[in-house]
Amino acid sequence: MMNQTQDRLEKDFHNQELVLWHPHNQKRSLVIPGVVVRQQENQVIIRARIEGKVKEIAVSPDELVER
């Protein structure tokens, strides 16, 4: 079984990489396309269209999948 440090290293995202965001806290199943702005230690800043507006938001790497 992998520990969290190994898991985090395997989920590196790069600037301008296209991703799909799967929010864990949503009651319904949403998939939101986005672009990586930067990755920080425990989160990834992405740019995505939410409620009709483009926003930069911090999300967990576990909620992202490369496109």
DSSP string spanning 19-58?
A: EEE--TT-SS---EEEEEEEE-SS-EEEEEEETTEEEEEE
Q: Which of 41, 47, 49, 45 is nearest to 58 (CA)?
A: 45
Length of the chain in residues, anyone?
67
Predicted confidence at residue 23, as pLDDT, reads 85
Residues 10-62 have pLDDT tens digits of: 678 999 999 999 987 657 778 999 999 999 989 999 999 999 999 999 999 99
- Which pTM was predicted? 0.77
What is the third-level CATH fold of 4-66?
SH3 type barrels. (2.30.30)
> Which residue carries 């230690």 as its tokens?
41
